Structure 1
Amino acid sequence: MNVGLGLPIADPPLLLDWARRADAGPFTALGLLDRLAYHNPEPMVTLAALAGATTRIRVQTEVLIAPLRRPALLAKQAATLDRISGGRLVLGIGVGPREDDYLAAGVDFRGRGRRLDEQMALMRRLWAGEPFGADVGPIGPAPARPGGPEVLFGGFKPAALERVARWGDGFLAAVPPSRLGPLVDLVRRTWEEHARAGSPRIVAQANAALGPREVVEDARAAMGAYYAWTGQAEEMVAGMLTTPGEIRDAIARFEELGADEVMLYCYGRDPAQVDRFAEVV
């Protein structure tokens, strides 16, 4: 089972330390969430810096709110980061549930699903080296991975899950093990209906913090603030994994359900958690 780390967002300069520690450890990916109307660092810029500070670990958006961005520019940014990092970019994307992000970007919230489908059609063409249109030629550079970086989709509605088969390489499942099984079954069934070869990559997610009480409380406070808008922040924070046994058990359960990778999402700022997680996994 591959294990990656979702990075905390409260103190961006610390992320270089997180990245270097993770690159020297057993981890396979570094994930970074995306919001516009929040104090998180912009993920494409930040992951470019982290890719330069590392040598082997993948850098992953989880998830990038693609409809907020112009598709040609996003395609160019993704191809550039994929090329510079030696093919280490994983573009996890989705539509996002927050209307304030769309208001800040000046983009229609109601049409975000349709906009994402249109974006993917164009970006796949651009990554393949095709012209932008009748009056505009190709937009490079060519990504390191033929056809573009690996694309994973997040979301839970049928339309979101179908995008995995239509446009993507895998599924980002930000749910506990108790909810994962039916979603994986639906993703795989849709994959087969679209006559896709192989199988979709399944990436699970669990919120975790390891360390002294102040580290765990820092993580809980940050996570609670981030999810306050949902009205379910207390319930979500209560599910945070805070002991080695809880983390090992969750990884084992995700593996039994068919996940290929688990991202341990960290809201606490202490970079020493990387070494603690390494001992667990």
Structure 2
Amino acid sequence: MCYSALVIQSQKKLARQLGAEFDEAAYEGLFFDRLNKPGIKIPKAMDDAVLAEGGRLGELVRDWRGRQAADLERLRAEQRERLEKALAKLAVKETKAALNDRRIATNKIAQYGKKLDDLERSEPEAEDSRIWPGEYSAVVVADGRRLIRPMRYQCRLPGWTAEIEKQFEGTYNARRDKLGSSWKRLFRKNHGLIVAEKFYERVDRDGRKVEMEFAPSTRELMLVPCLWSYDPQDRLYSFGAITDDPEPEVAATGHDRTPINIKPEYVDAWLSPESRSESELQAIFDDKRHPYYEHREAA
């Protein structure tokens, strides 16, 4: 699987890399929905890229951030009050409950403060572009022209409802050996691409679960093919990244999958699959790039 990845979210960078245009209607629909529906998770880098463009989309981001800041300030104030009460009790008598309240309140005050700082921070950080299953990412698709469209990283397959997809949480991972079965309604039809700097996996190491970071030693950006779907009822674009058997250095860490990394000359063919045979598309995967993936335990 690709448990997490550092994905380029900036439309300017994607335009330079792949000549793609901004799908403004799709972004506006997503950002409007976020104001009214809980649970929509968008990486800060995507918000920042949209905010830099200004206009109606920028207003939607500023509105959301304003609401978030107000909620965080309220939550932090509640924890400060909790901390004051705990300290007052501890000044009289040390109790387990008061110690616990002091610990929890102190941690939450710091947590809410960090989130507030991130909302206001203008300097980008690498983690701003990172996605996990259930979060949104910029995906390049072809619809008469190359478009950058925001999609959730966890595919809701055609015909599924929100309830059905809860039973299949692994649909962010489109296994190559399942494209003709589980993914057959999307393969050779709805193709996309994400541009990634790194990917992350959880592996067993010496009896403990650790997070490993993988990055091409060439420092080239990874062109990861995806399959996507659209649910008109929930106005939901969603996708899964295609993975293959692991590269040797990935397997050596204890993980059994690696995102496919196609060559730049195959981007057009991948994004326009309708007139291509399955063997032609599989040949793109057979001729994928094989950079050495440097790896380390993530910080």
State the TM bucket, normalised to the shorter chain: under 0.3
- Which has a greater percent of strand? 2
- Give the TM-score, by structure 2 length: 0.26
- TM-score, normalised to structure 1, is 0.27
Larger-Rg structure: 2
Which structure has the highest helix share of the two?
1
